[in-house]
Amino acid sequence: MLKLEKVEIAYGIVPVVQGISFHVEDGELISIVGANGAGKTTIMKAIAGRLHLRKGSINFRGKDITKLSSPDIVRMGITYVPENRRLFTPLSVEENLEIGAYIINDKKEIEKNLEFVYGLFPRLKERRKQRAGTLSGGEQQMLAIGRGLMANPKLLMLDEPSQGLMPILVTELLNAVKKLKELGMTILLVEQNVQEALEIADRGYVLQTGQIITEGNGKELLDSDIVKKAFLGM
């Protein structure tokens, strides 16, 4: 479905991502894990059309999307739920969701997506008239994901959804991500929370200073020495 080939990205002359390749297949939940500054968000923003590649290409469902802008990427079927949620805080929960469905013109479809999001996160429905900025951290993250789902994505990219949440909420949130996958959504998840992200993933990639140092299925990676040593302190 999504395929990155030898992607290099630099900020000015500083290389941040150095020739990485990976792929996501239909219905998969893929986790990219790595420490702060490993280049995770940079990769996500490049796929989302925000950053230019220095080299390499990005393919989505057989089409080259390397040079598309962010609004065009959404129309291709890739939604990016950015780091730090980036909600429209003075607007209500429901308005945020409506803006998420900006590319959809069919009112019935928007209504259907809204029901889907409310079904997934009932708490959002209770607070739909509330300003997004007044929600708790966990609810805000649910809203950010819900807003991403409103565009009917074929691929949902989640950038550090667990950031700033307390452990019990992290588990709850990642369970929701898992549920989404079970409903058939293809998901690319980027996380610092290595253990939990790999537990729910079909496959994972471990990123270090802009390079993929190892890959494999989620459980294998968790048992591998390289992950244990680098991230889990074992």
Report the nearest approach of other proteins to the CB of residue 226 (Å).
33
Burial class (CB in 10 A: 0-12, 13-18, 19+), 202: middle
The answer to the question of residue 11 lying near other proteins (CB under 8 A) is no
Query: Do β-strands 155-159 and 186-191 pair in parallel, antiparallel, or remain unpaired?
Result: parallel
75 three-state secondary structure: helix
Read off φ and ψ for residue 35, nearest 5 degrees.
-75, 170
Report the nearest approach of other proteins to the CB of residue 98 (Å).
6
Part of the chain binding other proteins (CB under 8 A), chosen from 17-25, 77-85, 189-197, 217-225: 77-85
The answer to the question of residue 215 lying near other proteins (CB under 8 A) is no
d(CA 92, CA 47): 29
Report the nearest approach of other proteins to the CB of residue 43 (Å).
15
Q: How far is CA 170 from CA 110, 121, 127, 197, in A?
A: 28, 15, 21, 10
Read off φ and ψ for residue 93, nearest 5 degrees.
-55, -50
Q: Other CB atoms closer than 10 Å to residue 168's CB: what's the count?
A: 9
Residue 55 vs 75, nearer CB to other proteins = 75
Report the nearest approach of other proteins to the CB of residue 224 (Å).
33
d(CA 145, CA 204): 21
Choose, by CB under 8 A, the member of 25, 70, 111, 223 that binds other proteins.
70
Residue 92 vs 171, nearer CB to other proteins = 92
Q: How many residues does the chain have?
A: 234
Which residues 6+ apart lie within 8 Å of 18 measured at CB? 8, 209, 210, 211
Footprint on residues 21-50 left by other proteins (CB under 8 A): 48-50
Burial class (CB in 10 A: 0-12, 13-18, 19+), 115: exposed
The answer to the question of residue 103 lying near other proteins (CB under 8 A) is yes
The answer to the question of residue 102 lying near other proteins (CB under 8 A) is yes
The answer to the question of residue 90 lying near other proteins (CB under 8 A) is yes
Residue 35 vs 185, nearer CB to other proteins = 185
The answer to the question of residue 147 lying near other proteins (CB under 8 A) is yes
Q: What is the pattern of x (binds other proteins, CB under 8 A) and - over residues 118-137? A: ---------------x----
The answer to the question of residue 86 lying near other proteins (CB under 8 A) is yes
Which residues bind to other proteins, rule: CB under 8 A?
A: 48-50, 69-71, 74-75, 79-82, 86-91, 95, 98-100, 102-103, 133, 147, 151
